[in-house]
Structure 1
């Protein structure tokens, strides 16, 4: 049973479901938790996948304790009904934590994709850092995306054959999606792409959604974007607006009506990958974007003070800039004033090689004692590609 509820979970679980279907020794049951219902299913659409189960939860207040309690209630019912051999969760969301807790209580093994990420600050990101540490204590199989993630687990006393270096499945996802034919749902984006490809303008793609970015930090980010546009008259900004009403209200107040800013509804994953592939620069507080952008050689400004993905910073793929408007504008200008690197000179994506889903499938099958006519393990991930030395 693969359980997710947010867009990043859908993107990172989809390649694993596909690998399971291809190998044929496990039958994946995709469960949509309802945390971000429309965004989860929209992301799965890019892989021609649909949830096998859609959970219905009640969220009158929208609080995190309410969400956790509701998820545990409905997930427990599913575990009793389906009695899965293993539960697979991804990342550090409330869905992942609720699923793992419920499975642990029901004595169902938990496989944790993207295990071992750490910012070493319980308040940033909040509550994700605490979620990750809790997940590590109750998971049976730790699927680590990088060498540093393995080392983080080892430092917490989590060692042995059930810690497996896989790479990050988001690299599998973005490589499988890139270059697919598509039509934008918003005609403004087709016009943006035409201007970028004809070298009339350049694209800066921006995403902001983290809880710790709300309020004053987001105000700083928006001020920084306005400053970038004042300095660079050939730059256009595309900013998909998160559905949270408070985030939407603040973004609309901060940049709605500003020339060359295109505010859109959340993009489907194919559209997002297409824009990412033609961008000259990305500014984001998202962890997934830090992992995806290096596959296209697009530099990332990380709109946070800390990141659990230092591999990208050390590889020269990302820069930590925080939310200060001047720092955002200065770092953006530095990158915009440099010509893009040719493909042969770009840093290698430190998060994987596109085979993480097959390593994940093999590790789960091995934990369950499954064999097949072809049980050959995928090649090991090179440590250089895994964020090693």
Structure 2
């Protein structure tokens, strides 16, 4: 019996991080033959991740061109994936999350009657513009999936409530596979804090762009209040974020605005931090494993599990709330320790192998 060919599709840095463990596990798995496809939605950041995990795409669609619209990215990805499906004739297509790439992969597979597996399925806010466009994309991808690989029980229940086709499996989140491998490897410090406590900040969400000035003013106030601590913000390349961050924060002596960092560097910064303020989805999943308290600067989150576990607190974007909640944790190690959990609700590091076993069993079971 020949190996079953499986497309592993990734287009952005988070996708590459979360699909790298699946690809590497599948390379070792008898009976499955993975084909790694990059759409190139985040070109340079993708290369950093692939290099770190020592993998190389078999195909690169190189979809990004200057100033193109989301629909142009979707269109080019669809056409490119359609051609590759015709070329390779895969038995299955896997993609992760809620980006333009995952929607393109789901539609390309569906239109070619190829089984689609949705990794990190079932995340929901049930508010289509929070986050936008991700909430819409993941709901649309779910409609055509044969396998829903849910990270948590809450995700399983969200999928069951939608009465979807396909089979639902709780497998944990593959980001924990990637995180544990990365955290176990040595990486030099990204920032020399001179022995001072480090507070890590990340922020880039599109729905928060009109709130960033007030948010950055809160950061400035925090840095002024705590001169003995170092605040580090890897600034997103989006000019709406970048220009404003430098305008408000560039002159603050204990506030370090640094260039975007690689995946191992962000893991290194998280390990170094005593507190993280973020609007990132991935960091909400990762921080519990690194025992770092997390304040989430969003009104809603599709990763409620970290909040329910007590490892994170949803604080929104009101500057007074950001300041008061950060101050509460910075003033008290006891309060910070209350947010450290023994077990990450998102996974145990074995998710990729579970996915391989499910796909192998399904493809070898007559329908």
Q: Does 1:53 align with 2:59?
A: yes
Check if 1:118 corresponds to 2:124.
yes
Within 5 Å, give how 1:88-167 maps onto structure 2.
88-158=94-164, 162-167=167-172
Structure 2 residue 222 is the aligned partner of structure 1 residue 217:
no
Instruction: Tell me by how many angstroms 1:252 deviates.
Output: 2.0
The answer as to whether partners of 1:206 and 1:283 remain within 8 angstroms in 2 is yes
Can you give the 5+ residue segments of structure 2 that lack an aligned partner in the other structure? Answer: 1-6
1:288 equivalent to 2:289? Answer: no
Indicate conservation of the 8 Å contact 1:315/1:347, yes or no: no
| Partner residue of 2:348 out of 353, 357, 360 | 353
Identify which of 313, 320, 330 aligns with 1:326. Answer: 320
Structure 1 residue runs of 5 or longer lacking an equivalent are 371-389
Instruction: Give the one of 50, 59, 70 matched to 1:64.
Output: 70
Q: Could you report, residue by residue, the CA deviation over 1:8-37 in whole angstroms, capped at 9, with x for unpaired residues?
A: 101100111111122232222111111111
Quote the Cα distance in structure 1 between the aligned partners of 2:197 and 2:122. Answer: 36
Q: Distance in 1 between matches of 2:47 and 2:115?
A: 25
Q: How do residues 243-254 of structure 1 correspond to structure 2 at under 5 angstroms?
A: 243-254=237-248
> Does structure 1 conserve the Cα–Cα contact (< 8 Å) formed by 2:309 and 2:341?
no
- Between the aligned partners of 1:83 and 1:244, the Cα distance in structure 2 is 38
After TM superposition, the score normalised by the length of structure 1 is 0.88
| Cα distance in structure 2, aligned partners of 1:136 and 1:46 | 30
Specify the alignment match of 1:173 in structure 2: 178
Q: What is the DSSP-based 3-state SS (H/G/I as helix, E as strand, rest coil) of the residue aligned with 1:2?
A: strand
Contact 2:311 2:340 in 1 (8 A): no
Q: Under a length normalisation based on structure 2, what TM-score does the superposition of the two structures give?
A: 0.93
Deviation of the 1:244 alpha carbon: 2.3
> Aligned pair count?
358
234, 238, 241: which one aligns with 2:232: 238
Instruction: State the partner residue of 1:335.
Output: 329
Q: Which residue of 1 aligns with 2:309?
A: 315
CA deviation digits over 1:251-303, x for unaligned, max 9?
22232232122222221111111110110111111110000000011111111
RMSD: 1.9
Q: Does 1:362 align with 2:363?
A: no
Comparing 138-147 with 63-72, greater Cα deviation is found at 63-72
Question: What whole-Å deviation, never above 9, does each CA across 1:174-213 have from its counterpart, x for those lacking one?
Answer: 11111312235xxxx3422xx2xx3xx1111111122112
Q: 1:59, 1:66 within 8 Å by CA — same for their partners in 2?
A: no
In 2, distance between residues paired with 1:19 and 1:287? 24
Give, in angstroms, the shift of residue 58 of structure 1.
4.9
Is the contact between residue 227 and residue 325 of structure 1 (CA under 8 Å) also seen in structure 2? no
User: Counterpart of 2:324 in 1: which secondary structure?
Assistant: helix
Q: Tell me, what secondary structure is at the counterpart of 1:172?
A: helix
- The SS at the match of 1:102 is helix
Partner of 2:46 in structure 1?
A: 40
* Equivalent residues of 2:10, 2:39 under 8 A apart: yes
Tell me the SS of whatever aligns to 1:257.
coil
